[in-house]
Amino acid sequence: MKLRCAVLDDFQSVAATAADWSPVADDVDVVSFPGHFGTEDALAAALADFDIAVTLRERVAFPASLFARLPRLKLLVASGMRNSVIDYAAAERHGVTVCGTASSSTPPAELTWALLLGLARGIVPEATALRLGGPWQSTVGADLHGRRLGLLGLGKIGGRVAQVGLAFGMDVVAWSRNLTRERADEVGVGLAASKEELLETSDFVSVHLALSDRTHGLVGAAELGLMKPTSYLINTSRAAIVDQDALVAALHTGAIAGAGVDVFDIEPLPVDHPMRTSPRLLATPHLGYVSRANYATYYGQAVEDIRAYLAGSPVRFLGGHAGPARVDLARTGAGQ
C-alpha cells in the first residue's frame, strides 16, 4: 500500500495544480480537503487513515491531544518556517516529524497596501454605489502624501511596507520593543520614541509584529484611544496583537476612522461574528499569504519535504521526531 497524504484547508482546490506532485506519486496518494475541520474531533476522524498531513500556515492547530489520536501520522508539513499552533514536544513523543517551507514576505506587504488604499479612498463603498446606482461620490478620500505612516514592527514585511510608504511621500516612523536606530536608518524611516507617540501622531498605523507573550494584546482600548479620530489601523499580522473587542468598539463609536483587517480571533470567521457587521471596517479572509507564487512555493516544497522524508533525510526540519527509525518505517510502508 502507498502512504496517504492529506492536504488540509485547500479552500480554492488548487493544491493539486499549484505544484508538481509526480515525484512522490509512486509512494503517496494525495487527498485534498477543501473544507475546514472546525473541531478536533472532526479533524481526528478525517486524519485517522493518513500518514502525512500538509497544513497551511497556522490555520489548523496540532496540540498534544490531537497527536495522541493520530497514531498513524508520521510526517506533518506546515507552510512557513515558524508555526505557533504545533506542539513540537508532543510531535516528538508520538514519532511525528515536522517540516516547513519557505514563505515570501511580499504578498502580505502587498495586501497591506490594498487594505490601506482601499480604506483611504473608500474603494469598496464607492465601487458598490457605482454598480448599484447609488450616489455619485459619497466619500472624501484621505491623503497619503505628507501624512504619517506608523509601523508597529520593522521586519521583512514592515520594511517592505515602509518602502512603499516612502514612495508615496509619506512620513514613515516605526516602533517595536527591540527596534534599533540602525535598523530604522537602514530602511530609511524614523524611530518613534514610544508606542504611544507612534499611535498619537500617525495617520495610518500598520501592525507587522510576530505574535508572542509580549505582543499579545499590545493594542487594546487604551492604545486605540490614543489614535486620532481621523486615523486608520491596518492589521495583516496576527489578530491577537490587537484586542478584537476593543477594535470593534472603536469602530462602532468612531474613535478611529476605520480599520483594514485580514486576521481574526477565530478562522474561518463565524457568520455571526461581530467583525462581519462592524462599520468602518474593510476586511479580507486572511489572504495575506494567499498568492500564486506563495502557493507554488508552499506546495512545491511540501513535495520536496515528503520526498526527502521518504529518502531518510528530512529537510527544513522544524521539530518533532527526526530519527531514522521512523523514516525507515515510512519508506517500508511506501514500498509495499
Residues classed as catalytic:
238, 267, 286
- Cα separation of 307 and 161, whole Å? 36
- Cα separation of 319 and 308, whole Å? 15
73-111 b/e with 16+ CB inside 10 Å = b? bbbbbbbbeebeebbbebbbebbbbbbbbebbbebbbbb
The residue whose grid cell reads 497514531 is 71
Asked if residue 229 lies in contact with residue 256, where contact means CB atoms within 8 angstroms, the answer is: yes
Give the orientation angle of helix 324-334 with respect to helix 292-310, to 10 degrees. Answer: 100
- Cα separation of 290 and 274, whole Å? 24
Please report, for residues 46, 313, 318, the alpha-carbon distance to residue 7 in angstroms, rounded to integers and kept in the order given. 11, 22, 18
Asked if residue 192 lies in contact with residue 248, where contact means CB atoms within 8 angstroms, the answer is: no
CA atoms within 13 A on the CB side of 230: 11
**Order of strands, sheet of 281-283, starting from the edge strand that comes earlier in the sequence:** 190-191, 171-175, 148-152, 204-207, 232-235, 258-261, 281-283
Identify the three-state secondary structure at position 22.
helix
The residue count for the chain: 336
Widest Cα–Cα separation across the chain: 69
User: Residue 270: is the preceding peptide bond cis (ω within 30°)?
Assistant: no
- Cα separation of 336 and 329, whole Å? 11
